[in-house]
Amino acid sequence: MHNLPVSMLPMMSTMISGQLEEAKDQYENLLKAQSKPYVLNDEIVERVIKVFSKQLDFICLYENQISKWHNEETLTANIESALPKSQVQLQELSKVITNILALAAKLKNGTIEKVMGKSDLELGMEFFKK
């Protein structure tokens, strides 16, 4: 992403807000699956990891762009007040995505493929560890 005109801020803010809402929803879904990771398959977990790893990469680009806009001297009051809100949302998005990736990494070990690949003895021993 090269230096964008500050007129792009509303669009970027909308994108950040949308990604934040999607990330929160995805995190809630993964939390629900935590007690029964076998409802997930390898493909779903890998896709979550891939998508949110890419989004994490974009956060740095967004932050750099917002930082460049902060340094511009010709900002309107509306734009100047919108920048901190976008920065806060980016920080929150970064935290949620980091949580998603950590949880997905844990869930990866309990997908249906992993459970089906275990022997009855392994499954029984895991059951009694709980």
> What gap in Å lies between CA 130 and CA 128, rounded to an integer?
5
Instruction: Report pLDDT for 100.
Output: 95
For 75-110, the pLDDT digits (tens) are 788 888 888 999 999 999 999 999 999 999 988 876
pLDDT mean across residues, the chain: 84
Structure tokens belonging to residue 130: 């709980």
Per-residue confidence at 27, pLDDT binned at 50, 70, 90? Answer: very high
Q: Which domain holds residue 89?
A: 6-129
Nearby residues of 6 by Cβ (< 8 Å), 6 or more positions away? 69, 72, 75, 79
Q: State the sign of the Cα–Cα–Cα–Cα dihedral 66, 11, 51, 107.
A: positive
Domain assignment of residue 78, yes or no:
yes
pLDDT band at 124 (very low <50, low <70, confident <90, very high): low
pLDDT at res. 103: 92
pLDDT mean over 21-41? 88
Structural domains of the chain, count: 1
pTM above 0.85, yes or no: no
Question: Are the beta carbons of 42 and 118 closer than 8 angstroms?
Answer: no
Mean pLDDT confidence for 24-29: 95
Evaluate whether residue 1 is within a structural domain. Answer: no
Type of residue found at 54: K
